Structure 1
């Protein structure tokens, strides 16, 4: 497994908020919720994304935008159109006067707007819960990014639109999995765009030596890796691996491994009932004490405090390079 696959395996949609907005200009749609990530696809028509403190970005037919971190974000046509609807959560949309929209605004399940024949059709899906692995991925992304339609032919958009329009048993589960797949394909397309600077670990995966070292660590994180063993497996000297790894990834091999182990431990602490000692052994530490020391060094807190959700009093850097 590679670094991107590992990171995305911990970002899973659960009860994602999906909606179709069908509108006639002028209109403005404001996302004002706490979702860590929202995908917006312009199925037809045009619009502009107006992030806070940033220049508007144009959306054309088939373009997809990824909005990282909580809102607010406004999507409008034209760019200066007043907000006609504010999405607060899955069950609450507010009108221009701040009052909840009535059922008159609904055009069917998860569908809102003027008319099904309106020229602008916007499809959105938002993650409701962020896992501990999520911040490591999201920290590599700008607040708003756009994947042009001609850079990523993706039949998933049509599948999502069809599923939203036709409720059936298990619909939420199907939509959650489709959103996960859409996220993967859009991110891969965006990372390959000219002018985009992918995170260091993503670029390093393409290097025949450093990429192999990364895959070895991700495939067997609990193995007692040393730089010497990694170098031997990669067919290079220890010093040469250390130099190449640090140059491409931005951190030495053992530092990266410690960060990744703590990342995996943090996710298991929040999503399982396993003891700290069991989790420690799963991610490569011999005892709970050893994991606690690494956790404190990397995250600025202890595994037990992290599991309780206590605030971090001495924050450390938690993002992979």
Structure 2
């Protein structure tokens, strides 16, 4: 008996899972800050995703063009970079410290380097004048990789928040406990906990009625369009047709095409092509990648057909993409 690659079991996959896999914390700057009013910290150029979790007290997150948001204990907020924002005890408190990057902070009033005495080190990753100060919060930064990651960022608003009832208190407890330790492998543990907290926060936010998620996310819950999306993301290189996707969803070809287009905003095979080209863009930038090898990985039998589809979809040749640096 001949067994095709598609007959082998493939773990269920969906569009959000694929995108969240591009979010990485790898040796990120992760810290707990304790302070007392008045306080305000400005970020001139933030990481692709910055997460704040309030442990006690209150904090306001202010993003230009957005309504300021008040965070209470247990609340989490995610700011989409790279634009500026600030976090403070009140929306109108002038920034006292300006963060230019992970290793460069200055005092706002004179532009001088922030002295170590301004934020004493109270523990391995805890900073502030007093461990019992009324405000404590955790800050973490995430990088988002490649074109797939850009698709996630495009689905998010400049600022999103999730109240304590929707976030994981257990995760916050574990994270704060780990912040006080210095053990072998500590950074890896913190990275994974921060990644998990971000994923849980994004998933909770996407589920909220006011989130206005992208069409493909809403379609994941539909038995017809969702089945087709999961099939395409589970095995994007498979030679999918409308008929085979319809069979997965248990409907006719016309039924799938109509339902999928209405919910996602484009026909199934058009969505598949765009997703394949998004994957291909990241694959082309990997060391040693060739147009032919990437073509096979995203479901094309020859480089010419792939190159034609790639240029038609993205307006640039795959060989040019391979030599162009991608987003960090």
TM-score by length of 2: 0.89
- 2:52–2:137 CA contact under 8 A, matched in 1: yes
Partners of 1:311 and 1:179 in 2: CA distance: 24
Q: Which residue of 2 aligns with 1:156?
A: 171
Cα-to-partner distance string for 1:9-28 (whole Å, 9 max, x where unaligned): 12222232212221110000
Q: Which residue of 1 aligns with 2:270?
A: 255
1:264 is the counterpart of 2:279: yes
Q: Which residue of 1 aligns with 2:120?
A: 106
Partners of 2:37 and 2:284 in 1: CA distance: 48
Q: Secondary structure at the match of 2:211?
A: coil
Partners of 1:10 and 1:76 in 2: CA distance: 30
1:84 is the counterpart of 2:69: no
Aligned CA-pair RMSD: 1.9
Q: CA offset at residue 172 of structure 1?
A: 2.5
Q: Which residue of 1 aligns with 2:239?
A: 224
Q: Which residue of 1 aligns with 2:305?
A: 290
Partners of 1:128 and 1:205 in 2: CA distance: 25
Residues paired across the two proteins, number: 312
- 2:220–2:229 CA contact under 8 A, matched in 1: yes
Query: Quick one: which of 23, 26, 40 aligns to 1:14?
Result: 26
Instruction: Rate the CA distance shift 1:159–1:89 in 2: closer, same or farther, 3 A.
Output: farther
- Mark the runs of 5 or more structure 2 residues left unpaired by the alignment: 1-12
TM-score by length of 1: 0.91
1:300 is the counterpart of 2:312: no
- Mark the runs of 5 or more structure 1 residues left unpaired by the alignment: 313-321
Partners of 1:302 and 1:156 in 2: CA distance: 44
Q: Which residue of 1 aligns with 2:139?
A: 124
Instruction: Rate the CA distance shift 1:159–1:279 in 2: closer, same or farther, 3 A.
Output: same
- 1:43–1:122 CA contact under 8 A, matched in 2: yes
- Deviates further, 47-56 or 92-101: 92-101
